[in-house]
Amino acid sequence: MREPLWGVSVSTMDAKAHLVPDPIPTPPPSRRRNDAAEPRVLRPRRAAPSDCVRPTRAEVNLAALRHNLRVLERHAGTAQVWPVLKADGYGHGAPAVARTLERAGAKGFCVALVEEAIELRDAGIRAPILVMGGYYGDAHEEILERELIPVVYDPAHLEAFARAALALERPAHVHVKIDTGMARLGVRYDALAPFLDSLASHAAEIEVTGLMTHLSCAEMGQLGVSPEATTEQLARFEVACAEMARHGVRPAVRHAANSAAVLRGDGLFDVVRPGVSVFGFAPRLGGDGPSLSTELRPVMRVRTEVVDVRSLGVGEPVGYGATFRTSRASRIATVPMGYADGMSRAVSNRGAVLVRGRRAPIVGAVSMDMAMIDVTDIPGVTLRDEVVVLGAQSGPAGSDVITVDEVAEAVGTIGWEVMTDLSRRVPRFYREP
């Protein structure tokens, strides 16, 4: 039996909001010649709110998601916004996010993996889906059957999709990626000539509908001044595009801009590919400078509840390895969230959560399924009190917010990793405030 991705709120903070059903539609039938054949690539499965027993969950604010799309559309000007929904929509749940954004006007989507694209198609997404990762196994026919757009940069890609196109008796639509300085994926300029020769030999089977590159340093430099690396990359991209045009490759769509570039106004061609900014996290200038936008709204709030409170005397150990000992008579609470859920062990004895609107330090080593917090200075903490791990909370003891930037700094990483670390065993609840 197929379970719907929806649930009933147990938080008193949901009294002014409601949770939105997020059913998983029945996948469309295979368009192979043998209709009885099962698709080879299947979608992964996350924990469903209908299966939720413990109180740990992520709440996704769909109104904030639509607001961020509008902000990015304004920055993009005439370019179409194709949100990047790789890594399960940066941890927010790609199918529900894609459905919301498609209804709000997003013209296409980008993912890294074929599996991610299949998941979106099976969720009913009809907009173009660009698969950027460049590794396709032997799923070339299925990619074309599902009307996905692969990114190609190697003659072997062209050969494989040409065979698939012949088998399906229709051309393969692809985007070509140019490596302009990322040194990760894409055709290098010195390899462009043989690539174009291979493309010409498959002209009947392959149609290039887009050209793209990826910017490596869009958040660097100064406000109001494009980074030198970005200027150089865009210049190289123009040279490569001109060379391809001389060989008859003139697709209508070009794209380069990621979140930082969109917010700075760099590389706004026909399509832009914002990722993390869709979810309310603006890259910072130089990585740790001022935010490139103050308009975006966080989309996710991660919460759990107190499941145990106990009193400890002076000098008592807490958690594995006794990495924390009480320095006073203390009240220690336990919450059912650990590193298997996305709460990094690196926040042990240095991070904080919110209880009753006030910060409570994380004490002891974060374990796989649980963490302990010191609530000695927060009056009245009891079982089932809400605990916010990421996001805002107001309560009888005050109001505060735990931001993605704060968690990233405590862990010694970047906001992208904080978002995508949230485990699939944490259900996503979708809210319309």
Residues annotated as part of the active site: 86, 320
DSSP string, 168-223: HTSPEEEEEEB-SS--SSSB-GGGHHHHHHHHHHTTTTEEEEEEE---S-TT-SBT
CB of 287 closer than 8 Å to CB of 281: no
Residue corresponding to tokens 């050209």? 211
Query: What is the DSSP pairing of strand 129-131 with strand 109-111?
Result: parallel
Beta partners for 25? none
Q: Give whole-number Cα distances, 382 to 125, 365, 390, in Å.
A: 44, 22, 20
Reduced to 3 states, what is the DSSP secondary structure of residue 253? strand
Using only C-alpha atoms, what is the Rg of the chain?
A: 24
- What is the C-alpha separation between 294 and 64, in angstroms, rounded? 13
- What is the C-alpha separation between 298 and 401, in angstroms, rounded? 11
